[in-house]
Structure formats: C-alpha cells, structure tokens
Amino acid sequence: MTYQAIVFLPLLGAIIAGFFGRFITDRGSEIVTTALLFLSAILSWIVFWRVGFDAETIKVPIAQWITSGELEVAWSLRIDTLTGVMLVVVTTVSSLVHLYSIGYMHEDNTRSRFFAYLSLFTFAMLMLVTSDNLLQMFFGWEGVGLASYLLIGFWFKKPEANAAAMKAFIVNRVGDFGFALGIFGLFAVLGSIQLDAIFAAASGKSGETMEFLGYQVDIMTCLCLLLFMGAMGKSAQFLLHTWLPDAMEGPTPVSALIHAATMVTAGVFMVARLSPLFELAPTALLVVTFVGTLTAFFAATVGLVQNDIKRVVAYSTCSQLGYMFAACGLGAYTVAIFHLFTHAFFKALLFLGAGSVIHAMHHEQDMRNMGGLAPKIRITWAMMLIGTLALTGVGYPHVIGFAGFHSKDAIIEAAYAAHTPYNYVFWTLVGVAFMTSFYSWRLMFMTFHGKTRAEPETFKHAHESPYVMLVPLFVLAIGAVAAGYVFKDYFIGDFYKQFWNKSIYEGPNNHILHEMHEVAKNIAWVSWAPFGAMAAGFGLAWLYYIQMPWLPAATASTFKPVYLFFLNKWYFDELYQLIFVNPAKWLGRVLWKGGDGAIIDGIGPNGIAARVMDVTGRVVKMQTGFVYHYAFVMMIGVAIIITYFMYTTGGFGQ
C-alpha cells in the first residue's frame, strides 16, 4: 500500500480541499493538503532508498483500464530507481511549496481552491512518473497541463494571468499533439504501448524505414522525434519556450513547484524513461542535443537583461533544462537526471527566495526598484546566496562544491567527451555557464546590495518573511549545498550501474560516462573551464553593478540593437504574433463578419436563421399530440419501406 499511498494521498487532499473547503475553511484545507503531502514525501524517501540497487522493477496493479481489440491498457504503477528519484523530487518540493504557501497566500480568501489545485497537480505529476504505459503517462502529462493552466491563471481577475494561462495551455497543445502521434505510431508499429513490451520489440524495428511523401524515413527516428516534440513543449525548449516566462504571472509558489522543479522536467524524464527507444535513433539524439544546446544559449542571453526577478529565474530554468536535454542527446541520461535532481533543490530555493523578496517589498518584482535589501532581510539574502552559489556551480573540481557544481560540470565534461563537431556543445555550454554566473550575480547585486532604488516608504517597511515561509528555504538550502556531493557516486560515479540497474538503458556503443570520467582524469583544463567561466561571470557582474554601476546603461546604449534583441526575447512573441495569431484573428473576423454576419444573418429580410425558423415552425405545427396521427404516419412509412424493398429485390416481377 506504500506505493498507492504516495500517489493517491495528494489526490485525496485535492478532493477534500476542492469539494469540502467551504466546510473545513481555508485553514483546514491548508493543514489537510500539506499534511498529506508531507506524508507522501516521507514515504517517497523510504521508497527511494528501498528501490536503489534493487535489480527488479516493481509493478503495482491498480485496475484494468481499457480493452479494445488489440489494445489492452492496465492502470499500474512502475517502481524502479528512476521512479524513486522522481518521487523524491516531486513530493519533497511539493510538500515544501505547500508549507510555504500557507504564509505566502495568507491574505488570499480563496486558499482552499489554491491548495486543491496544488495537490491536483502533484497527483498528476506522480501519475506521470509512475506510469507503466504511454497512455497512463499521457494522462499524467495532460493532467499537469490542466493544473498548470489553473494555477497560472489562479488570479483570474488579472487579464495578464488569464492570457499567460491560455498561452501555456495552447503552446503545450502543439507539443502534446506530437507526443500523441508518437504514441499512436508506436502502437501501430510495435502493437503495444506498455513500456516493457515496446522496449523488447523496438530493437526488431531498428533500421527499418517507411515511405512518407515519397521519401524513405527511418521509423524509430520519426517516432522518437514525435515523442521529443512533446518534451519540447512541456520542458519549454527552443521554439516552444514562449509560455514559460509569461507563466510567472501565477503566484510565486506555483513558479517554484511547476516551472522550476517538476512539470518542466517531465520532458527530460520522458526521454530518460524511453532511452531504449532513443538509443535506436541516433539522428533523433542529435536533434535532442542541438535543441538542448540552443535552448541553453538562447535562454541565457535573454536572462542577461531581464529586470523582473522571477523572469530572470524563469529563463535560468529554461537554460538549465537545455543542459539536461543536451546531456540526454549525448547519451548521458543519468547525468541529465542527476542535474534534474540537484536543480530541483536550488531552483525551487531561488524561486521561493524571490517570493520572499517580493513579499518583503509589498509585491514589487522589478529589480530596478530594489537594492540594499540585505540588511533588511538577512535570512532571505543568505538563502538566495546559497541558491546562487549552487546554480553558478561554485566548487573545487573533483573535490567538493555546491549541488549544481557536481551535476552541471559533469554535463560539460560529457559534452567534451562526446567530441561533437568543433566541440560546439562543449564551448556553447561553457559560454552559457559564464552568462549564468553573470545574470545570477546581477540578480543578487541589484536586489540586495548597493544603494536602494526602492520607494522610501516601501524600503522602510521591508521585513523578513514569517518562519512558515523560511523553513522550506532552510530545507531546500540543505539540498542545494549537499545533494550533489552526497549522491554523485550513486548517480554518475562508481556505483551508478548498480544504482540505476535497468531503469535507464545505455546501448552497447554508449560509453559516454566512461569517456567523461577519462576526460576528468586526464584533461584538467576541461574540468577547470566551467569554474573559470563562473569566476569570470561573477567578476564582470561585480564590476558592472557594484564597482561601476554606470556601466550597464552605457553598455546598453552602445550596443542598443543587441540589447533590444535580448530584452525582447529574440522577438519570438512578435514573430509568432505575425505568423500565427494575426492570421488566426483575420480568419476568425472573416468568418464572423462575412460568414455569420453577411450570410447567416444577412440574406433575406431577416437572414438564413429566420428562414430556418420558418421551416422548423411549420414542422412543429405538424406535431398534433394525437396518437392515431403518429400511428398513421408510421404505417405510411412502413408501407413505403416495404414497397422500396420489393421493388429493389425484384419482388414485383415474380
């Protein structure tokens, strides 16, 4: 019952808060949902230690779900090491976000609804990571999309929140369409959507092709690219990334839960879970590598110039997800999951720390209106400092460091070991590490140091958050400091094969982890390169925002086209507005004015609608209510049918 409890306790909390919140009050909803999440988190840690090094995958049947022809889908839970890692990430962050939200949302009088949505999201995410078949995964996939829509638009009286929620939902539908096609294709080609069955059958289709538009297309490459399209949407990868920054319109705890630690990592989890398929499609892996690397670079450039404190952290998330996909594309799936694991702690810490700053500044989010806050909110400053040290990768190579140091540097070393053309992945990720350090320390300096730029009254009343908000920061800070060092040997070190067992598959030609360790041992400068990039980023940020604070404005003025290009996010929103939104509006206007207005309502004295009403009105008058009238009509109908049957079968001629 342990496994079922982990998954369904959040659903129970969502039902209680959602349907009975008005009876148990907002306070009762907070307590019930948070308590159930903490219980689920405790059980998840127990399962994590239990399944690590366990050679067998545990299947927990729940119910028979669908039986239709050859399609048989059972509702069951798949418990292995990968599942255990994701259970810990999801439930730990979610329980701490629930606790934090008690303080952050204390002024909101619809907290029961908020906590119901949080727990519903957690349930959907748990269904996703415990799925034993692709349809169950898709159920959780769409469930987190629904919950994300509800939480981003939670403050639905704000037009910006509604627009952001719709944008997130619509953009994700694009990716999910590809994911659905991938699932359909797998069933058509392999005859199943159950994970073990498709893993066993996939190797038999390796190298086979199909004809598409006159071309011969590799089947496994096509299917994996469709599946990856779903990952691109859910994990905000390049071209399908535009929803993530706008999602910051939701409450800050939502950003920490959904857009830093859990939902956006679903795509990375999916690629790792389906590694037996991706290992058979090297071309698809090249696409994953390229998209991940490009996303990391793109998001880092935009993060350099953002002024909203939450948007800086959001673009950082997008960039770090690019790191994870780059690692998956190189075949270093365990390294990607290691970074997913450590990232959950320090990025949730940064988001919740940003929420603490916003709380202290009476909902001010623009860093240009902050500064000098460190003495006012010393604990929040210390927690944000730890998160920044973890994100930027501070540490001594191969010895010790903060969480992000161990996992991010491992991805960079794997990129060098992969020997991509001109080592473009390695050099790009090193450059991204430099930009990550710069914008992270820029955030710290603009928010906490130097002379304040805040309104005098706002600065005067800035105060530390209550302990119900600070305690989650303390716990996450422990993970941001120690998670990398403690778990390194299990995830990517000496014990990684025994730890992961069969939950992540590496093909016979995949030696990326061995080669990564050889690079770390024999080529010292590769390991020191990200450290140097981190130090250079810190130094430049200190020069710009502490030593010479006039430099940012001068640089923006000197390189104005580049500055505006980054500030406007490479103009993707404007481009999509031109290509997709405006034509859709034009078509809608034509159908409305030309179709509905001119034709439906415009023809004749009162339009087609009036003529339809005239005809239907005459039909209505034929309804007399007398039974013998209806019986007479039925007899005529039967006579016509018999006559037609006898005529067509030759009955009249006999």
Per-residue three-class SS string for 180-198:
HHHHHHHHHHHCCCEHHHH
Looking at residue 357, its pLDDT comes to 93
Looking at residue 615, its pLDDT comes to 65
Question: Percent of the chain, pLDDT > 90?
Answer: 67
Looking at residue 607, its pLDDT comes to 63
Question: Percent of the chain, pLDDT > 70?
Answer: 95
Q: Residue 621: beta bridge partners? A: none
What's the rounded mean pLDDT across residues 441-447? 95
* pLDDT beyond 90 at 340: yes
Looking at residue 77, its pLDDT comes to 94
**Range with the poorest average pLDDT among 47-56, 245-254, 515-524:** 47-56
Task: Give strand ranges (E) for 180-281.
Answer: 209-212, 215-218
Looking at residue 439, its pLDDT comes to 95
Q: Are 272 and 333 in contact (CB under 8 A)?
A: yes
The number of angstroms, rounded, from the C-alpha of 531 to the middle of its chain's C-alpha atoms is 28
Q: Residue 217: beta bridge partners? A: 210
Question: Model's pTM, two decimal places?
Answer: 0.89
Q: Are 64 and 95 in contact (CB under 8 A)?
A: no
DSSP count for the chain of H helices, then E strands: 28, 6
Looking at residue 603, its pLDDT comes to 66
User: What Cα–Cα distance (Å) separates residue 321 from each residue in 7, 296, 335, 609?
Assistant: 25, 7, 12, 53
Work out the mean pLDDT of the chain and round it to a whole number.
Answer: 90
* pLDDT beyond 70 at 404: yes
Rounded CA-CA distance 151/145 in Å is 10
Looking at residue 460, its pLDDT comes to 86
Rounded CA-CA distance 99/93 in Å is 10
Rounded CA-CA distance 130/52 in Å is 15
Looking at residue 107, its pLDDT comes to 84
What sign results for the dihedral spanned by CA atoms 370, 376, 382, 387?
negative
